Structure 1
């Protein structure tokens, strides 16, 4: 968990005598694009917690738990959903404007089906800008946590630049850019107010408890990776989300969480970076291949 009491909102500082480029040139800076790919690498460790955070906003949770888009359901097609989500994140952070538009059009096509029906107990619409902002905010929070934990020195000059760049996590969906809080201080105010509004009902809590337990995985795989994935998902949740989810933080979960984190830190330190980033590289290549060939992305 990240202690944000000491977070600074100061501007970016020089690195090795050079200043951080202006925002329009950030993707020309190899140090920044390296950070972005490292952030994408962090999806693996923080994905479980981040999904739970996003779906703890009741309309988002209902929209996913009750989704009528069969091919995109997280609980029925987890590997396809992982591929499409990873592709979306790669294009949101690293893609050109044309690639972002193509991904947005694909997602819009799917999101037209994600809306509540008359008489449903919870109203939701996947095009709701407030909900898109919430999803983007959760994604930014997860990336920011990962970079602070694993790449603190490299990340320090880029806190503000990365925050501004992260608006693309929402604008690659349907969020208007002016909905993104103006700076990191404004984001913290938004985040505190938004976290106070999280709520799960019986439908979403049951769905997310099953997700945390990795019930969506085939049984043989679940027996191997389920316990550490559950521990990482619950362990990386901020307190209000963990309490809403209703899974107790037991000593056994805490031990598994610490063991999984030690293992991941060892892998990060020992495995050569090109090999470590292979899943990110392949995922980025795959989504670009699909987009440029005119093949469906979702």
Structure 2
């Protein structure tokens, strides 16, 4: 589906998008330590072949993790900050910036699967993974009581900050769970995407000294946060040492979070939101 077709499909539902964009999504509390589960969330997103190959084959070098790791990480995390914590204007401006990059992400005749970054069904899956990651962060590091039906409905901004039509977001949390189970059951991760994802897990995109030093930690956190069904599809499992380290790390992290002030628990998302607003004021590129 082309960008023009997607815009045409969403043109008849401006009121819902406006309603979502008009609110600051206070219920979606971003916990900085949730970044440790980021690679696991990437695996979940890219397990859908059209998303996986869209990233793997992308010709947008400015968004390539293996070519510009710092910039790519910043833009991805900024998207989360803007979607969950930003204002309507923040989301509108960032949507425009992301759309410019997404126009170049589409399959060719040689691609194993067909994809287009503006495909609303793919944007729904990515948004679903991001929302699921938010839920997991609340269970691990945040306040599980925040996982309410209202918070779930607000979670649609993970997709509508792009071009996902609001009406395709599952209406209730129960509907979401059915969609999630059905989608995951049908997934298969081929060897090309599996190896690409494992390179991300091992931090191969970073300078070799960093990858050698932090690769084990990244792998331990990723496998720990990855749901069992995705572990099976990836053919990976934690070692006993990794399981013990993961449990001990999270126990300590939870205790630390209880005493930290809000600005520190929300770091770096609060800093990234401030940065993107500074970029808007000064006319600098947002991504």
TM-score by length of 2: 0.86
Q: Are the counterparts in 2 of residues 23 and 161 from structure 1 also a CA contact under 8 Å?
A: no
Q: Distance in 1 between matches of 2:83 and 2:41?
A: 17
The answer to whether the 8 A contact 1:214-1:226 is kept is yes
- 1:232-243 equivalence runs, <5 A: 232-243=221-232
Match for residue 78 of structure 1 among 63, 69, 86: 69
Write the mapping of 1:68-107 to structure 2, written as runs, cut at 5 A: 68-107=59-98
Q: Gaps spanning 5+ residues in structure 2: where?
A: 1-18
Which residue of structure 2 aligns with residue 229 of structure 1? 218
Residue 212 (1) aligns with residue 184 (2): no
Partner Cα distance (1:78, 1:24) in 2: 30
Match for residue 15 of structure 1?
A: none
> Cα distance, 1:290 vs. partner?
1.1
Name 2:37's counterpart in structure 1.
46
Change (3 A) 1:224 1:259: farther
Q: Distance in 2 between matches of 1:239 and 1:275?
A: 31
Decide which moves more: 251-260 or 284-293: 251-260
Q: Give the equivalent residue in structure 2 for 1:181.
A: 170
Query: Distance in 2 between the 1:183 and 1:293 partners?
Result: 40
Q: Which moved more, 1:214-223 or 1:236-245?
A: 214-223
Residue 244 of structure 1 is matched in structure 2 by 233
Offset of residue 40 of structure 1? 4.5
Residue 190 of structure 1 is aligned with which of 179, 199, 204? 179
Residue number in structure 1 paired with 2:58:
67
Q: CA deviation at 1:192?
A: 0.7
User: Which deviations, in whole Å up to 9, do the C-alpha atoms of 1:37-94 show, x marking residues without a partner?
Assistant: x425243122111011001111111111111111101222222111111111111122
2:161 to 172, 181, 195: 172
* Counterparts of 2:283 and 2:31, CA distance in 1: 24
Report 1:135-150 matches (<5 A): 135-150=126-141
The CA RMSD measured in Å over matched residues stands at 2.2
Structure 2 residue 259 is matched with structure 1 residue 276: no
Q: Which runs of structure 2 are paired with 1:14-29 in the superposition (5 Å)? A: 27=24
Give every structure 1 segment of 4 or more consecutive aligned residues whose post-TM-superposition deviation is greater than 4 Å: 22-26
- Alignment correspondent of 1:122: 113
Q: Which residue of 1 aligns with 2:245?
A: 256
1:7 aligned residue? none
Moved more, 128-137 or 159-168: 159-168
> Residues 215 and 153 (structure 1 numbering): CA distance in 2 closer, same or farther, change over 3 Å?
closer
| 1:170-221, Cα deviation, whole Å (9 max, x unpaired) | 0111110011000111111111111112221121011011111121122222
Shift of 1:263: 3.6
Q: Is the 8 A contact 2:124 2:169 kept in 1?
A: yes
Offset of residue 234 of structure 1: 0.8
Distance 1:251 1:283 in 2: 36
Q: Give the aligned length.
A: 269
